[in-house]
Amino acid sequence: MICVVLAIFANIFQTAWTGVNERTFIAIKPDGVQRRLIGEIVRRFERKGFKLVGMKLMQASESLLKEHYIGLRDRPFYNRLVKYMSSGPVVAMVWQGLDVVRTARAMLGETNPADSKPGTIRGDYGVEVSK
């Protein structure tokens, strides 16, 4: 009897666990730190049920940023981006949860805040592409 109950339980709740439990890196840029947006951004991820597994307030060095953004090194904005990201403290976070990568991308919005919908982090708080 217990096997039947467990089998039924597994089938009923299977849809809740079809996603992938994964981790993603999220950074709050210097202007977000300066504008005191850390708490609001953390709250948004917590409300989605994600677990904060690491968070560090840091002053990122240019060498670390060049390594982090290596995939953008041939883009015309690369040097400005590295300079901006090293201009003040950033908050580096790692979030964990089901489909957190896909969900975080949707929560953040488009790279250009002007193209981001209201309700997304960039749509609500973004100023310009580089900030």
Tens-digit pLDDT profile for the chain (131 aa)? 444 444 444 444 444 555 679 999 999 999 999 999 999 999 999 999 999 999 999 999 999 999 999 999 999 999 999 999 999 999 999 999 999 999 999 999 998 999 999 999 999 998 876 55
State the pLDDT at residue 1. 45
Cα 87 to Cα 46: distance, rounded to the nearest angstrom: 28
Domain contains 131 = no
Other CB atoms within 10 Å distance of the CB of residue 60: 19
Domain contains 56 = yes
Please count the structural domains in the chain: 1
Domain contains 9 = no
Residue 79 maps to which CATH number?
3.30.70.141
State the pLDDT at residue 127. 80
- Please indicate, yes or no, whether the overall pTM of this predicted structure exceeds 0.85: no
Range of the domain at 38: 19-125
Domain contains 112 = yes
* Residue 89 φ/ψ, nearest 5 degrees: -70, 150
